[in-house]
Structure 1
Amino acid sequence: MSTITPNPIQQSQQRFLTIIQRINEAANTIVAEYTAIVELAPVSGKDRATTAAETYQIECHASSIVRAIEDLLMVSRSLKESWILGQVASFQTNSEQR
């Protein structure tokens, strides 16, 4: 039973798609959690118990935003490491390619 290994181009494309997916997921999380915080923000006409519960919810949403941003930082770090180690081709302008 032999296994078929993907060629380097396929590996690069898969890695690119994975990175794009992580970025999109993090961006969607940030937007959704921020929207939830904005919806909970109004305080007028609420009793202390409701305000306390909503404060806790806001803290949870803020923690989710921080985790999403940390994931984006990990993507950035991974790309930098790959570039430094020569695993990512440098971008060249048309004049440099000639």
Structure 2
Amino acid sequence: MQPKSITLLQKIDQIIEQLLTKFQDIFENLKNDTKPKELLSIESLAIENNANQIIRLCQDLLSISRNIKETWILSSLKVENGISEDTNKSKSKSLFNDEENVDKVFKLFNELTENIAKFETPEIYG
């Protein structure tokens, strides 16, 4: 693995560990019902603080996920200049083969839905 991916995985693990810790802290505060009002108010603030930190950590995970998707999409796109006629012909042939494959997939999908429809029982309303 590349060092960049290792650090990214470590960061994800660290965020998940923090998320679990914050959830555990919230549940620890909820354990005992026989607490004075002052302690309950302090714990409610702690719960609110933990909830805000959980939201921030989830946003961090979403940001990492978005960055991974952007990197994957942008690095997988390749721009080709100066395509010759031979490559255009071969691409059109492969496109024709893909259309045939698409037709086969649609045919199989239609057969599958017809077979599923046979097993469905009509519901009687009324």
Per the normalisation by structure 2, the TM-score is 0.56
| Match of residue 48 from structure 2 | 59
8 A Cα contact 1:29 1:64, kept in partner: no
Structure 1 unaligned spans of 5+: 1-11, 88-98
Ranges of 4+ aligned residues in structure 1 off by more than 6 Å:
none
State the superposition RMSD in angstroms.
1.5
| CA apart distance, 1:16 | 0.5
Count of residue correspondences: 76
| Match of residue 27 from structure 1 | 16
8 A Cα contact 1:36 1:61, kept in partner: yes
Q: Does residue 1:45 correspond to 2:34, yes or no?
A: yes
State the alpha-carbon separation in 1 of the partners of residues 63 and 3 from structure 2.
Answer: 18
Query: What pairs up with 1:1-98 in 2 under 5 angstroms?
Result: 13-86=2-75
Q: Looking at both structures, which has the greater relative contact order when contacts are Cα pairs under 8 Å and sequence separation is at least 6?
A: 1
Spell out, residue by residue over 1:23-67, the C-alpha distance to the aligned partner (whole angstroms, 9 max, x if none).
101100011111111000135111111110000001111111111
Q: Quick check: which one's helix share is greater? A: 2
State the alpha-carbon separation in 1 of the partners of residues 66 and 7 from structure 2.
Answer: 15
% same residue: 30
